[in-house]
A and B are shown apart, each in its own frame.
Chain A
Amino acid sequence: MACASLVVAQETGEPDTHEVFGRYASRIVKIHVVENSSGAKATIGSGFHVSKAGHIITNYHVISKIVHHGDRYSAEFIDSGGGSHPLKILNIDVINDLAVVQSDYLAKDYFNLSVIDISQGRRLYALGYPHDIGISIVEGTYNGLLEHALYKKIHFTSSINPGMSGGPSITSLGEVVGINVSTAGNQVSFLVPVEAAVRLYKDTLSTPDNLLENFLEIVRNQLYAHQEAYLYEGMMSSGQKVRLGDFMLPSRLAPYFKCWGDSQQTEKSTYSVINHRCSTDDYLFVSGSQRSGIIEIHHRLITSEELNSMAFYELYSTFYAQNTSQLHGSEEEVTSFRCESENVISNDIPFKVAFCIRRYRKLQGLYDMVLRAAALGLKDTGLDTTLVLAGVSFEKAGEMARTYLEAVSWAE
């Protein structure tokens, strides 16, 4: 492997990794979020200087504890010499998981942020402080933007580890291509495209300091505006449909949805189940225990030839009682769910419907919604369907749930 990469390097005329490291490592900083009363580290991450005036770009999720509990946490960065400097949040972009922070430390060396155009297969170097064990450089290849994604991300074939979040991925010439953000394991990592950082940084420079103080309000406004934009009218009736039994059901609502299906029937069981799941496959990080910006669809068709209708409906009830969606969130962040249940007729199909919501305590006007519906009236067939929306307004939740139910119909 070492020989192979050496050959490539010679052919493209790219410098060795240690040269890249030597040139740019001093621009990378280690960020600590510290619990005030004990002085212990609560989160570690990376960041990089983008101006002489001490502006640093990192991930929103690295400093999110300060946004939520400004009174309990504070941030500092550790320079290459080991000295620590307090950080102040200047701006955040929760949708792209970015933040601009600043210290009074004047950077000798920094990256000039600009939008760049590069081709697939280009060698990139990710820099950061994995697991708090000292600065590292990781080589990998640029594999373009994720084809179908709700949240724009670069597919970077390399191993980004926890702690490297917020660090840059650069070309050998020191151009920032993206910001390390997450990994799916096995050499599949993701970067936030540099355009988002450029936008946020410019926005920060043009906004007076005092306008950006209540960051929770900013998180709330960004999430609110985001859901208004990506959940559009007619979304539930457009997109691909799937046929399960005699039902036509919403499936891949938009290109960024991923769908899976399976079926279960064993010799021993008296029934069979067909599963069909679709989801946005990605989420927005709000806090350590709260995720948002999620759409999930789950259909289950339960059929049985041998059960009598009483027994079948006992079975069907146990399926309908299961909640297969896993929405996280702590008591500090969300309320308990409250549900409204009713028998509802839609498209000539009677359903038992439960509409459940909970509110984000600190982010006014945002809710998580779970819609559960079970088709009624058939003796040996049950259709159990779920729609989950995380981080939506109440009006959107109602509208999406209503149009979702309308999109379920009898197959012709």
Chain B
Amino acid sequence: MGRIVFVEVMNRRHRVSERIRVDSFPAAIGRAYTNDIILDDSYVSETHAVLTCDEEGTLHLKDGGSKNGIRREGQSNKVSDLEISGEATVRIGRTLLRIRESSYGVTPALAEQSQYGFFQRITRTGSLAFLAFIASFVMIYGYDFIRSYERFSPSHVLGSVLAGVMLFALWSGVWSLINRLVAHSFCFLKHMAVAGVIALCLTAAYTADEYVLFLFSPGYAYIYFELAGLAAIFAMALYAHTAIISHAPRRRSAITACIVAIFIFSFTSIFFSLGRSEFSRNLDYEANLKPLGKDWIYSISNTEFFEGLEILKNEVDSMAGEL
């Protein structure tokens, strides 16, 4: 069996764009149609180079009287005869060629990651997805109902539940339409399940946030932490919905979602800090109150509180000079 060599044409990102099998030598490389390997590159001569195999079985790439010569990758001097042992990458005109013998060893295969993340698991079947949505919906509205201080009225409750269902249906509907455009199926229930779980996460995060605000009064800068949390949940939603739509690698969807989240975070942060510098007669203080017993509330003494207000004075004093 004769010798087999592969000539690979590389693109700008160093990925193989064309692979040519060579099993008879010499093999001519150039722009003319008389060549064995034809390169469509204006800087390549008609017959540019020849791939040969000498008596000892050594592979050579020789200049075939070209205008621009042969260069090793990353080097500027021309070579007229290049000995190839195993592998070589050369530039001919503006084309990058990688020449490899068939005996070239490749790296072992990578282990495949699990196909199913949390969202894929709960949305694997339609009924499971529907159940996930109902569970989330009941939890969200149950919590809302417990906290409602209006007198119970069936029409009011029905109204708010219907409004909630509509909102979820609208959100999931938009995603389903995108799904249909990209992948020829709607997957409505799957999107609904994702929406439900995300809304549940949002409710949980919001409640936790209220308690943090109530207990620790963390000050204005905390809003950036809240915005970051909100952006993260949004990224999660985006990731979960896109994972249903396409089978693109999970890492790529995650990166896309993160970029979108960072964008949202920056945008809302700028928006909020600009809003704070606007003149207003409103009092902007933390008004969350929670039914915790006295022993559960972290508090400072009256004197301690009023001694620590100098920063506030400095802040309004510095604002007085602006305008």
Residues in A lying within 8 Å of B, measured CB to CB? 268-271, 304, 307-317, 320-321, 323, 327-329, 331-332, 335-346, 350-361, 364, 367, 370, 372, 374, 376-377, 379, 382, 394, 398-399, 401-402, 405-406
Chain B residues closer than 8 Å to A340, beta-carbon distance: 305, 308-309, 311-312
Q: Of A311, A329, A355, A376, which is within 8 A of B289 by CB?
A: A376
Could you mark each residue 281-299 of chain B with 1 if its beta carbon is under 8 Å from any beta carbon of chain A, else 0?
Answer: 1111111111111100111
A354 touches B215 (CB 8 A): no
B224 within 8 A of A: no
Chain B residues closer than 8 Å to A399, beta-carbon distance: 306
Q: How far is the CA of A331 from the CA of B313 in the complex (A)?
A: 18
Could you mark each residue 264-288 of chain B with 1 if its beta carbon is under 8 Å from any beta carbon of chain A, else 0?
Answer: 0000000000000011111111111
Q: Of A308, A359, A370, A376, which is within 8 A of B320 by CB?
A: A359
- Given A314-B149, A337-B281, A376-B289, are A361 and B309 neighbors across the interface (CB < 8 Å)? no
Q: How far is the CA of A277 from the CA of B149 in the complex (A)?
A: 25
7 residue pairs of the A-B complex, CB under 8 angstroms, read: A310-B146, A336-B279, A338-B284, A359-B317, A359-B320, A376-B289, A382-B289
Chain B residues closer than 8 Å to A337, beta-carbon distance: 280-284
B279 touches A405 (CB 8 A): no
Q: How far is the CA of A269 from the CA of B282 in the complex (A)?
A: 28
Q: Of A307, A311, A335, A402, which is within 8 A of B319 by CB?
A: A335
B247 within 8 A of A: no
A345 touches B150 (CB 8 A): no
B319 touches A343 (CB 8 A): no
A398 touches B151 (CB 8 A): no
Chain B residues closer than 8 Å to A336, beta-carbon distance: 278-281, 319
Residue of B nearest to A370 (CB): B283
- Given A317-B288, A336-B280, A355-B309, are A405 and B302 neighbors across the interface (CB < 8 Å)? yes
B284 touches A308 (CB 8 A): no
Q: How far is the CA of A312 from the CA of B292 in the complex (A)?
A: 12
Number of B interface residues, CB 8 Å?
Answer: 47
B148 within 8 A of A: yes
B149 touches A307 (CB 8 A): yes
A323 touches B215 (CB 8 A): no
Q: How far is the CA of A408 from the CA of B243 in the complex (A)?
A: 58
Q: How far is the CA of A7 from the CA of B206 in the complex (A)?
A: 77
B146 touches A346 (CB 8 A): no
B283 touches A313 (CB 8 A): no
Q: How far is the CA of A271 from the CA of B281 in the complex (A)?
A: 30
- Given A270-B151, A329-B281, A357-B312, are A343 and B300 neighbors across the interface (CB < 8 Å)? yes
Interface centre among A353, A360, A364, A372 (most CB of B within 10 A): A353
Interface centre among A323, A328, A376, A394 (most CB of B within 10 A): A376
Residues of chain B in range 184-229 having any CB-CB distance to chain A below 8 Å: 214-215, 217
A350 touches B297 (CB 8 A): yes
Chain A residues closer than 8 Å to B110, beta-carbon distance: none
Residues of chain B in range 137-155 having any CB-CB distance to chain A below 8 Å: 146-151
Not counting A343-B299, A398-B306, a sample of 11 additional A-B residue pairs whose C-beta atoms are within 8 angstroms of each other reads A335-B316, A336-B281, A336-B319, A338-B315, A339-B312, A341-B286, A344-B301, A345-B299, A354-B283, A359-B319, A377-B297
Q: How far is the CA of A354 from the CA of B151 in the complex (A)?
A: 30
Residue of A nearest to B279 (CB): A331
Q: How far is the CA of A344 from the CA of B283 in the complex (A)?
A: 19
Residue of A nearest to B286 (CB): A341
Residue of B nearest to A311 (CB): B149
B151 touches A269 (CB 8 A): yes
